[in-house]
């Protein structure tokens, strides 16, 4: 299990339907060798169906899938390479361990399937157990392990097949928050150490940001945006992606001016703010300014002139949420939820200034 030459993956024109419901719509994508891809989206968006199609556990209706330089699925040529001949390792959400087998036997199972003799399997099993920190648990059964330990067994078993690609179907979703953070770090370190190509399905944008080289956000069986975590999380292409990756505040406006790298946006109440963007827009085009609640700043309107790039607002509700204070504010007919320091004390019905950072994403209003 040393580093290996990484294998890329591409799929073209993938479509899949169940009866009258289409769950994958003409998906084409390429994953570079050695990359860590996260398929990000809500339940039912098609991400697990796409992963299972790559694995050979689902047969698409159309399209092709190529691993390295080998086509493992081609609907037109009626070619469907079985899952066990695709050279993949897969970790499922619910581990899928053999309950009657020890940790040693679970890890050894793929080695046995590969025809490795019993006398030669022991060293490989112990090496894999050390890789995932389970060398002291080899004789235990799965029901004697914690959730995190069971997940490590599942990972070691997936790696025992010496896979070209590692496929991960929400493997951390059943773990508590502390263990999820720990295993994220370990999973990324393992990916880098082994030099393999990995694909993770998740609905957690924080998990995707922590692990991925590339994020592909899915909706209704389509990839809505793909790119680096910085591209997707800081520069969403549309409102759907923005909402899914944590933008909860949206202000409608109209383009009223442009300069190099900046657009002036006038809100319905007549106030204008500047947004730094490379989005190609036209004069009078309707747009949306997107912001996370912790990006916005509140200032007392009685304190004097408006701060730079601020608009008028009124506090309509407030609640303390642990170490932050969340304010509900009305701005130009829209409701914003703003998270501020816990020691702030703006009152309900108080008139305030709300500063809009210039680096907030600008989206087309469609």
Pick from 218, 242, 266: which residue ends a domain?
242
Whether 256 and 233 map to the same domain: the answer is no
Long-range contacts of 64-68 (CB under 8 A, 24+ apart): 64/11, 64/12, 64/13, 64/14, 65/9, 65/10, 65/11, 65/14, 66/9, 66/10, 66/11, 67/7, 67/8, 67/9, 67/164, 67/165, 68/7, 68/8, 68/9, 68/164
pLDDT of 355 strictly over 90: yes
Q: Which helix (H) or strand (E) holds 89?
A: strand 88-91
pLDDT at 146: 87
Q: How confident is the model at residue 120 (pLDDT cuts 50, 70, 90)?
A: low
Whether 120 and 141 map to the same domain: the answer is yes
pLDDT (mean) for 160-179: 85
Quote the CA–CA distance of 319 and 228 in Å, as a whole number.
35
pLDDT of 118 strictly over 90: no
Q: How confident is the model at residue 176 (pLDDT cuts 50, 70, 90)?
A: confident
pLDDT of 304 strictly over 80: no
pLDDT (mean) for 103-120: 76
The 10s digit of each residue's pLDDT in 179-214 is: 888 888 888 988 998 888 999 999 999 999 999 999
Whether 236 is in a domain gets the answer yes
Mean pLDDT is lowest, of 108-112, 128-132, 195-199, 353-357, for: 108-112
pLDDT at 5: 66
Computed over every residue of the chain, the mean pLDDT equals 91
pLDDT of 122 strictly over 80: no
pLDDT above 70 covers what percent of the chain? 96
CA angle 178, 182, 188 (to 5 degrees): 145
Whether 141 and 264 map to the same domain: the answer is no
> Which tokens hold the place of 122?
């022991």
pLDDT (mean) for 54-67: 96
pLDDT of 278 strictly over 70: yes
CATH classification at residue 257: 2.40.50.140
Quote the CA–CA distance of 5 and 24 in Å, as a whole number.
30
pLDDT (mean) for 263-271: 96
Whether 81 and 223 map to the same domain: the answer is yes
Contact present, 195 and 4 (Cβ < 8 Å): yes
Whether 307 and 355 map to the same domain: the answer is yes
* Cα 48–chain centre separation: 13
Whether 273 is in a domain gets the answer yes
Q: Which candidate, 167, 170, 149, places its Cα nearest to that of 158?
A: 167
Q: How confident is the model at residue 148 (pLDDT cuts 50, 70, 90)?
A: confident
pLDDT at 115: 65
Q: How confident is the model at residue 335 (pLDDT cuts 50, 70, 90)?
A: very high
Instruction: Report strand pairing: 249-259 vs 286-291.
Output: antiparallel
| Tally of domains in the chain | 2
CATH classification at residue 139: 3.40.50.300
CA angle 83, 85, 87 (to 5 degrees): 90
Q: How confident is the model at residue 124 (pLDDT cuts 50, 70, 90)?
A: confident
Whether 2 is in a domain gets the answer no
Provide the domain limits for residue 355.
Answer: 249-364
Pick from 242, 258, 291: which residue ends a domain?
242
Whether 3 is in a domain gets the answer no
């Amino acid at each position: 299990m040393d580093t290996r030459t990484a294998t890329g993956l591409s799929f073209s024109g993938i479509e899949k339907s169940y009866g009258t419901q289409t769950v994958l719509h003409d998906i084409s994508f390429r994953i570079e060798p050695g990359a860590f891809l996260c398929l990000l989206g809500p339940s039912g968006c098609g991400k697990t169906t796409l992963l299972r199609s790559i694995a050979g556990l689902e047969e698409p209706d159309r399209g092709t899938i190529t691993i390295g330089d080998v086509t493992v699925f081609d609907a037109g040529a009626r070619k469907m390479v079985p899952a066990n001949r695709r050279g993949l390792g897969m970790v499922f959400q619910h581990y899928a361990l053999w309950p009657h087998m020890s940790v040693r036997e679970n890890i050894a199972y793929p080695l046995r399937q590969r025809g490795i003799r019993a006398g030669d399997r022991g060293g490989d099993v112990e090496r894999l157990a050390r890789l995932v920190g389970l060398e002291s648990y080899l004789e235990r059964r799965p029901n004697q392990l914690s959730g995190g330990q069971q997940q490590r067994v599942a990972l070691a078993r997936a790696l025992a097949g010496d896979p070209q690609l590692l496929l991960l179907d929400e493997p951390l979703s059943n773990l508590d928050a502390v263990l999820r953070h720990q295993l994220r770090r370990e999973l990324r370190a393992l990916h880098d150490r082994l030099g393999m190509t990995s694909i993770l399905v998740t609905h957690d944008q924080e998990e995707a940001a922590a692990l991925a080289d590339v994020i592909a956000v899915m909706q209704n069986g389509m990839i809505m945006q793909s790119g680096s975590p910085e591209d997707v999380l800081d520069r969403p292409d549309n409102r759907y992606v923005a909402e899914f990756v944590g933008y909860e505040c949206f202000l409608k406006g109209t383009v009223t001016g442009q300069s190099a790298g900046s657009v002036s946006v006038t809100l319905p109440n007549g106030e204008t703010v500047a947004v730094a963007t490379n989005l190609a827009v036209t004069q009078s085009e309707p747009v949306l300014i997107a912001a996370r609640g912790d990006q916005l700043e509140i200032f007392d309107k009685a304190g004097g002139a408006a701060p730079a790039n601020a608009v008028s607002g009124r506090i309509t509700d407030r609640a303390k949420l642990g170490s932050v204070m969340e304010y509900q504010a009305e701005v130009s007919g829209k409701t914003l939820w703003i998270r501020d320091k816990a020691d702030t004390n703006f009152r309900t019905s108080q008139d305030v200034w709300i500063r809009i950072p210039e680096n907030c994403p600008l989206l087309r209003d469609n």
